[in-house]
Chains A and B, each alone.
Chain A
Amino acid sequence: MRQSDVATLLADHCFTAGLSAQHLDRVARHAWIERIPAGTVLFTEGAPAERVYLLVTGRVALELHVPGRGAQLVDTVDECDTVGWSWVLPPYRWFFDARAVTDLVAVVVDAPALRGEADADPAFGYALLQRVTAVMLHRLRAARVRLVDLYGVPS
């Protein structure tokens, strides 16, 4: 894959679409494309959060390992979604396991380098945080609505 392919995918990806050309370049210089086979564990709970996965195609399961119960499926992430935000804030460690349910194509970004770019350019950092916050808000709302158990038996 050429670097121009990375730039093209980033320009179209839901997470990075709308960034200025200059800011897209800040992401692209630390990004590469990976093809990941189904079943691959992208990361595990507690491991350093050093990569950002922008899914182009495929599905990732976020799981929590519970002793005696095994891997519990918490959420899924699909194409045009972003896997993980633990790379944004200390302690920079993943809270869940991530496993490829299907074959994946992802733009993978070096997270420490991305944080470095954000520190160097606050405008870029703000644009980046707006996008991360949107992902967090979406997932937080979904988690809270699921807590209500909308489809459960009415009391």
Chain B
Amino acid sequence: MTVTSVPPADAGAFTLREFRVVRRHQDTRDTATLALEPLDGQRLTFEAGQFTMLYAFGVGEVPISISGDPTRSGPLLHTIRDVGGVTHALTGARRGDVLGVRGPYGTSWDVQAGRGGDIVLVAGGIGLAPLRPALLQVLARRGDYGRVVLLYGCRTPDDVLFARELEHWRGRFDLDVDVTVDYGPPQWRGKVGLVDSLIPRAGFDPAHTLALVCGPEVMMRTVAAALVHRGVRRDRVRVSMERAMDCGVGLCGHCQLRELFVCVDGPVFGYDRVERLLWLREV
């Protein structure tokens, strides 16, 4: 089929480009990763932490963080959890299906700012997906950083995301990986407990650490507080916020948090900037 309706990639923030699903991997019971290739052949470049608006034609559009490696060319990866109508359609996409993509949008983790020091990534649940590009970026230039620590918490062992990759990372001598679950079956030999409980004993120098945190807001609050308690400066802790986004470009206001628009000012914020907002019940 010849596609002639795809506009150039730089045609504007609202431009919807068509991507074909070239691979689909079922990560967990409710989460799948889609590998997408642009029909127009122009690859989408992005920075770790950014997201796109993914459109399931005839169903709807949602913001999804990019989970691929920003340092390598290849299909665009999104890891999607099936939690609603649109994400159900997206996770159900098959090889050959065409999806709409806008973006990438938003701020990045800016991991380069952590060069020369330690990097601590703390992920909860699906929050590991937006952090994966940051970790891959660090590992691509491993010598630029000190200790690298990944702390991951999720619901059960069956919900561990990127399990094979985590095993691989765990086997590296230059990366500390610790995993905990909320509920473990009797045969589970790993840790049970909250991810913030891993912070006091993790091997990093808080005075020279850049910490990246992504997960449910309750988890991010407690993790950021634990990192600050350990001695990491507030402006060296970054969190990725999630709010209902519609436009992705700061026009509709659906993701507004007081003076901030999560889609354009975020999703990655310095904790010093959003600490008080994280504690607000509703904005």
Contacts and interface: CB of A to CB of B under 8 A. Distances in A.
Interface of A: 14, 59, 61, 63, 70-76, 78-80, 101-102, 138, 141-142, 145-146, 148-154
A149 B191 CA distance: 17
Interface string B27-47: 000100000000000000000
B182 A76 contact: no
Nearest to A145: B194
Contacts of A72: 186
Contacts of B200: 14
Sort A-B residue pairs by CB-CB distance and give the 4 closest, nearest first.
Answer: A151-B125, A151-B155, A76-B192, A73-B184
Given A149-B155, A150-B218, A101 B186 contact: no
8 contacts: A59-B191, A71-B186, A75-B192, A76-B190, A78-B201, A150-B125, A151-B126, A153-B83
Contacts of A153: 30, 83
Interface centre among A71, A73, A149 (most CB of B within 10 A): A73
A155 B201 CA distance: 34
A52 B199 CA distance: 24
Contact of A73 (B83, B188, B194, B201): B188
B14 interface: no
Contact of A78 (B124, B184, B191): B191
Interface string B58-83: 00000000000000000000000001
Nearest to A141: B194
A152 B182 CA distance: 11
B192 A151 contact: no
Interface of B: 30, 83, 124-126, 153-155, 159, 182-186, 188-194, 197, 200-201, 215-216, 218-219, 222
Contact of B193 (A71, A80, A102, A142): A142
A73 B182 contact: no
Contacts, number: 62
A11 to B, nearest CB: 17
Contacts of A71: 186
A155 to B, nearest CB: 10
B189 A146 contact: no
A7 B274 CA distance: 44
A59 B124 CA distance: 22
A42 to B, nearest CB: 16
Nearest to A139: B193
B124 A76 contact: no
Contacts of B216: 150-151
A12 to B, nearest CB: 12
B155 A152 contact: yes
Contacts of A149: 155, 182
A102 B197 CA distance: 19
Contacts of B154: 151
A14 B215 CA distance: 28
B193 A76 contact: yes
A151 B182 contact: yes
Contacts of B155: 149, 151-152
A79 B190 CA distance: 13
A18 to B, nearest CB: 14
Given A75-B192, A76-B192, 7 more contacts: A14-B200, A61-B192, A73-B186, A142-B194, A146-B182, A146-B183, A148-B218
Nearest to B30: A153
Given A142-B197, A150-B125, A150-B219, A76 B191 contact: yes
B229 to A, nearest CB: 13
Contacts of A154: 83
A72 B185 CA distance: 7
Contacts of A142: 193-194, 197
